[in-house]
Structure 1
Amino acid sequence: MTYVGQSATASERNESGEPTPKAGLRDVVAAYVGLTKPRVIELLLLTTVPVMFFADRGVPELGLVVATVIGGTFSAGSASVFNCVYDRDIDEQMRRTRRRALPRHIVSPAAALVFGVILAVLSTVILAVWVNGLSAALSLGANAFYVFVYTMLLKRRTTQNIVWGGLAGCFPALIGWTAVTGELSWTPIVLFLVVFFWTPPHTWALALRYREDYANVDVPMLPVVKSAREVGRQVVLYSWVMVATSLVLWPVADTGPAYPVAAAVLGAVFLLEAHRMHARARDTEDLTVIQPMRLFHSSNLYLSLLFVAVALDPLLTR
């Protein structure tokens, strides 16, 4: 497979020894989109837009929502592109990531880097002009933190990589709030902390599933250096703190009754799944028994529904 902008030659061959065909336009477009990690963007926007509803105590202005979503999408996409460029060496060796654009050589590192810079500039301009300077600064800060602190400094050096590196993924809650209000307060900080404590259980469940991949490329994710039992124990601890933090929003933001009920029910279900995974991991390292992806998918559903409850609460209590 050739880089974009390079010509295909007969000497370039795939694993079977046949010449590798040049990527078509659809493949190239899909590759660039894939570099932005759309599923990650969806999750980040899910913690942005509901907070805008909550901050507005109703339905925010459509134009503001659109500008915040576009700016946030470009910012998150930019951070993901930079991550793909920096991690292309280990991505090529991991089952979960080897089909990305850079390991497949559909896009060159230089082209991807330019793409990431363009997205970052567009994001900052859109948020600064059509939202406000504070939201733009927070977005740019989150982008820089993810690239320089998590990707370049923490990821390959410490088991706490995702704990502190995950701070970047918490910023959308702050950005959604400041987009509407133009200032920070304790309410978005509580939601920021919910995402902060949610990130380790969510990520460790996925890392447990792919721990051999991380071990092969010397990335010290917690499941690589600790037993599944210890991973399960820490997942339970973070899950309890996460649920407790989610309930703090009730008195801090003076929500209606809908939110605390939803938070309590969703939290109970999530805690049950976390404890079940821990129980399955106590006496075995067999992933078919532990089933970490059950918790991973449950964590996505939990965060999605919790922030839907955040958005609906002011609409139900008007």
Structure 2
Amino acid sequence: MGSVGDYVALLKPRVMSLVIFTAFVGMMLAPGTLHPVLAAVALLCIAVGAGASGALNMWYDADIDRVMSRTAKRPIPAGKVTPEEALAFGMTLSIGSVVILGLLVNWFAGAFLAFTIFFYAVVYTMWLKRSTPQNIVIGGAAGAFPPMIGWAAVTGDVSLESFVLFLIIFMWTPPHFWALALFKKGDYETAGVPMLPVVAGETSTRHQILVYSLLLAPIGVAPFLLGYASIAYGVASAALGVAFVWLAYDVWRKRDGDVARKATLRLFKYSISYLFLLFALLFVESIAGRIMG
């Protein structure tokens, strides 16, 4: 019988924290208002749905997790939770989060959450991850949907503004995860997962990281260009984007030995800060706008 901590680990709490934050920013930026209790319910349902996706992912990927050093201590390969328990846990949370969000907030947001869980658990985990080196590119949509779900919880719809929030995370995902894949290439080779560095090689992966970084930088500035973020955000996001591109270029040009590994790790760590700071800036501006407006 797994402990509470083991079941919490099935939810991938670090991933869940990012989902909660980006969904909350989507709710704050959305036009209109939602009762604070309903807003809390919506955020909780989105968080639980994300955790359910994580549990289903760990259930299906238990064979891969056992042979990768990064994941070998997860609850299922460590023998603390059985695959059947993880599946039941994930399915129960999936259904519960969708039904409660639909009944108490709105069914558009509930359906969107259901689609996101399905996309991550079935389209990405069961199909893309094991079949194509573009798994992260396409599958990254699942991690980019939360701000749109948060927006939909408030408005019952989506918009160009919410799509831009999606696009920021969607374009951020490949360079972020490919940097990790370069660093952990041996793990993916052992597990037989066709990540880009394994299938196409490290040089091609470095090219792709730089290309996606160059595309990401202007998209990060888009909220200012579209008029729903201030010039302060525009300047800050541009500076953050330039730093991202520079670190990606550093990964592209440093290709051998420990120097290359350090450059890759720097980009991976910075990418987390980059996404957090962009959404934190949008959050602060939304709070300031509500106070002043």
With normalisation by structure 2, the TM-score equals 0.93
Q: SS in structure 1 opposite 2:91? A: helix
In the TM superposition, residue 38 of structure 1 has moved relative to its aligned partner by 0.3
Partner of 2:174 in structure 1? 200
Contact 1:143–1:168 (Cα < 8 Å) also in 2: yes
Contact 2:251–2:260 (Cα < 8 Å) also in 1: no
In the TM superposition, residue 287 of structure 1 has moved relative to its aligned partner by 4.9
The reply on whether 1:66 has 2:40 as its aligned counterpart is yes
Q: Distance in 2 between matches of 1:211 and 1:47?
A: 29
Q: Distance in 2 between matches of 1:98 and 1:35?
A: 13
The reply on whether 1:50 has 2:25 as its aligned counterpart is yes
Q: SS in structure 1 opposite 2:140? A: helix
Q: Distance in 2 between matches of 1:296 and 1:104?
A: 27
Deviating runs (4+, > 6 A) in structure 1? none
The reply on whether 1:176 has 2:150 as its aligned counterpart is yes
Structure 1 segment 218-297 matched on structure 2, within 5 A: 218-281=192-255, 284=256, 286-287=257-258, 289-291=260-262, 292-297=264-269
Deviates more, 1:294-303 or 1:259-268: 259-268
Task: Choose from 212, 215, 218 the match for 2:189.
Answer: 215
Partner of 1:39 in structure 2? 14
User: How many residues end up aligned between the 2 structures?
Assistant: 289
In the TM superposition, residue 61 of structure 1 has moved relative to its aligned partner by 4.2
Identity of aligned residues (%): 39
Task: Give 5+ residue unaligned stretches, structure 2.
Answer: none
Task: Choose from 126, 130, 134 the match for 1:156.
Answer: 130
In the TM superposition, residue 228 of structure 1 has moved relative to its aligned partner by 2.5
Task: Give 5+ residue unaligned stretches, structure 1.
Answer: 5-26
Q: SS in structure 2 opposite 1:92? A: helix
Contact 1:155–1:162 (Cα < 8 Å) also in 2: yes
Contact 1:232–1:277 (Cα < 8 Å) also in 2: yes
Contact 1:53–1:60 (Cα < 8 Å) also in 2: no
In the TM superposition, residue 230 of structure 1 has moved relative to its aligned partner by 2.1
> Which structure carries more helix by proportion?
2
Task: Choose from 105, 112, 125 the match for 2:86.
Answer: 112
Q: SS in structure 2 opposite 1:47? A: helix
Q: SS in structure 2 opposite 1:100? A: coil
With normalisation by structure 1, the TM-score equals 0.86
AA matched with 1:49:
F
Q: SS in structure 1 opposite 2:67? A: coil
Q: Deviations over 1:284-310 (max 9, x none)?
A: 2x3553322211111110000000111
Q: Distance in 2 between matches of 1:33 and 1:253?
A: 40
Contact 2:22–2:147 (Cα < 8 Å) also in 1: yes
Q: Distance in 1 between matches of 2:258 and 2:188?
A: 15
Q: SS in structure 1 opposite 2:30? A: helix
